[in-house]
Chains A and B, each alone.
Chain A
Amino acid sequence: MTAAVSVQQLKKTYPGDVEAVKGIDFEVAPGEVFGLLGPNGAGKSTTIGMLTTTVLPTSGTAALAGYDVVAQPLLARSVSSVVFQEAVVDKGLTGRANLQLHADLWGVGGYRAAERIKELAGLLGIDEIVDRPAGSYSGGQRRRLEIARALISNPLVLFLDEPTVGLDPRIRHELLDVIARLRRREDMTIVLTTHYLEEAQRLCDRVAIVHCGEIVALDTPAALLARLGDQLLELRVAGDVSVALAALGAHGVAAGDAYVVGSTVTVPLHDASIVDALAAIDHAGLTASDISTRQPTLDDVYLRLTGVEGAAAA
């Protein structure tokens, strides 16, 4: 079966030798929800730009439903839609006109377009405002309009670039519900970029963690979590935190997957018990103002992989 999204050795270098994307590889299966997770400047938006044909790759290949984004850009665009990070609507036009514009550009016929607009406006809760100028919409309403617009053409691949940024929590959760339920459409593939780790955990079948233009981890959220074991030890230490991390390493508590954020050391316990860990902390002579244990989250995977100091390096 042809992959919905296929990326091979994709690379983008901007003028000034700025390597935004450094030769990444991944495939997304039809119907899969795939997350690109990473901090600002990681290369997520450049990757989406290359897949939506607004950024020209320096090298490598990418294809949507088998259509090469460089050699067959029109076909690649015809099978995809994108919800951009920034507001991208014609504010001078009504919501309906914005939806109709997308339908016309993507070749959705007149009667079918009218049906889809009616249906999606209802589904996204904008049917009562769809004839108002889009400039009068709130941030949440505008975001819903943009998602409805992207769905008008029934795309094979839907790109959602930070879709919930700037929304209030209620609308954000409602939109997450909508995106989660879109998965019922068995033939729609969703590629999502986000800063919000719980979004990725909630929505994505697989997640690629992107850092400095490279994919540093790619797996299911569960598998990524499993890398850190069942329990984490967190301790806030006084003094030089890297010395503390080195001491924990020397006493066999911290392995290469321990990491530091500020004055907090986070140590995956794996097979070690909390009693052993506390004994090692005591033996190392560390003064901790706060010690706790908890289950790992995707935040921990993300922080571990995106530029914090690890025990192995300490």
Chain B
Amino acid sequence: MATTIAEPAAIPRQHSSPRTGIGRALRTLASRRLALTAHNPRQIAVPMVTPILFALVLAPALKDALGGLHSKIDYTAFVAVGTVGLLVPLATTFAGLSVIVDRDSGAQRELLAAPVPRGLLVAGNLLVVLGLCALQVVVVIAAAALRGADFHVRGAGVVWFVLAVVLFVVLMYGIAETLAARIHQQEEYIGATPVIAILPWFFAGALFPISALPGALTAFAKVLPLTHAMALMRYGLVDPRGTGLHDIWGMSNTTAEAWLSLAVVALFAAAFAIVAVRTFTRAAVR
């Protein structure tokens, strides 16, 4: 098909704004990421597969075979929340891969040439990852509930759960974005995924309380932000007595323990968010 390129007419210059507002730029960048993510349903579905299998198959089977936790905590609900500790790292590392794809495909260059602070590129991606993880967590918890998991849903508990999930997503996406900015090959990044996304999960009390681990590993588990995040999530949705928080802090005041664990996760989240923005903006300029 022959295509004719017409002659551009003289167009009067209309510089209404020399710079784009932060809010508008953030909305634009998040919309772009959302549109690209929506075109890739695998990015939404694949991270949920393993956690759902843990929650729907493994946890009920272990509960029946081994008798659960021998406490008042429902083991299926316990594991369902534990799988959130796997789901979030998987979802965020997948999202980090999109950053590498942007860079390799060249699309990132157009964004870097835009008159917006480059840290907003990270923030825009983070907003979409937060939304995506929220959707995935709701699906996993709802599936577990349908499978018979016994959750203790209360207003304050949901707030603790949501805060823990949000901060943990920020933390994990900060790590993913930092790695994506520093690792040049997709293959290398994918190779790093199990270490970042899966390894801590085995030590953080996802399938059993950390008190069941040998002493040294228990001590190690206590410094992992994932352990604090999962203890908070369970405090919010499964175990109002805060058994997981007691295992970490050994205090008598559960609320204080919850605040302390929230502070730990928030500190890690803030630190990695800052590192992610700094690493990205430095890597963007040669």
Residues of A within 8 A of B28 (CB): 101, 104-105
Complexed CA–CA distance, A175 and B284 (Å): 30
Known: A14-B286, A74-B19. A107 touches B7 (CB 8 A): no
**Quick check: B10 and A178 within 8 Å, CB to CB?**
no
A9 near B: Cβ within 8 Å? no
Total of A-B residue pairs, C-beta within 8 Å: 138
- Which of A77, A181, A185 touches B11 (beta carbons < 8 Å)? A185
Complex contact B20–A175 (CB within 8 A) = no
A195 within 8 A of B: no
Q: In the assembled complex, which residues on chain A have CB atoms less than 8 Å from the CB atom of B107?
A: 88-91
Task: Judge whether B35 and A78 touch: CB under 8 Å.
Answer: no
A307 at interface (Cβ–Cβ under 8 A)?
no
CB-based contact B112/A106 at 8 Å: no
User: Would you call A144 an interface residue if the criterion is a C-beta within 8 Å of the partner chain's C-beta atoms?
Assistant: yes
Could you tell me the distance in whole angstroms from the C-beta of B14 to the nearest C-beta in chain A?
Answer: 7
Which listed residue, B10, B13, B105, B115, touches A105 by the CB 8 Å rule? B115
Task: Check A86 for interface membership: any CB of B closer than 8 A.
Answer: yes
Question: What does DSSP make chain B's interface, helix, strand, loop or mixed?
Answer: loop
Write out, one digit per residue, whether chain B residues 93-118 have a CB within 8 A of any chain A CB (1) or not (0): 00000000000011101111111110
In the complex, what distance in Å separates the CA atom of A184 from the CA atom of B24? 32
Contact between B106 and A175 (Cβ–Cβ < 8 Å)? Answer: no
Question: CA separation between A159 and B196, bound complex, in Å?
Answer: 41
Is A256 at the interface (CB under 8 A from chain B)?
Answer: no
A81 within 8 A of B: yes
Given contacts A119-B11, A123-B9, A174-B5, 13 further A-B contacts (CB under 8 A): A53-B113, A53-B285, A75-B19, A86-B109, A88-B109, A93-B32, A105-B20, A107-B16, A107-B18, A140-B3, A144-B5, A154-B15, A156-B13
Complex-state Cα separation, A140 to B3, whole angstroms: 10
> Is the pair A93, B16 in contact by a Cβ cutoff of 8 Å?
no
A114 within 8 Å of B (CB atoms): no
11 contacts between A and B (CB under 8 A): A14-B286, A53-B112, A54-B284, A90-B32, A92-B40, A119-B11, A125-B4, A140-B3, A154-B15, A181-B8, A184-B10
The count of residues in chain B whose C-beta lies closer than 8 Å to any C-beta of chain A is: 42
Asked if B252 is at the interface of the complex by the 8 Å CB criterion, the answer is no
Cα separation A90 to B6 with both chains bound (whole Å):
25
Complex formed: what's the CA distance from A75 to B32 in Å?
23
Q: A55-B285, A90-B32, A186-B10 are in contact. Are A109 and B5 (CB under 8 A)?
A: no
A53 to B24, CA, bound (A): 22
Shortest Cβ gap from A190 to chain B (Å): 12
Residues of B11-69 at the interface with A, using a CB-CB cut-off of 8 Å, are: 11, 13-21, 24-25, 28-29, 32, 35-36, 39-40
Q: Mark A168-183, 1 if CB is under 8 A from B, else 0.
A: 0000001101100110
CA distance A178 to B39 in the complex (A): 33
Chain A residues bordering chain B, tally (CB within 8 A): 58
Contact B5 A123 (CB under 8 A): yes
Contact B3 A185 (CB under 8 A): no
Chain A to chain B: the 5 pairs with minimum beta-carbon distance, closest first: A78-B115, A105-B114, A104-B28, A107-B20, A77-B115
Chain B residues with Cβ under 8 A from A184's Cβ? 8-10
Q: Is the CB of A182 within 8 A of B8?
A: yes
Measured between beta carbons, the chain A residues less than 8 angstroms from B11 are 119, 154, 185
Identify which of B105, B106, B114 gathers the most chain A CB atoms within 10 Å of its CB.
Answer: B114
> Which of A75, A141, A177 is the one whose CB lies under 8 Å from B18?
A75
Across-interface contacts of B286 in A (CB, < 8 A): 14, 49, 54-56
Instruction: Give the distance in Å from the alpha carbon of A181 to the alpha carbon of B32 in the complex.
Output: 32
Contact of A125 with B32 at beta-carbon distance under 8 Å, contacts A91-B105, A105-B114, A107-B16 already known: no
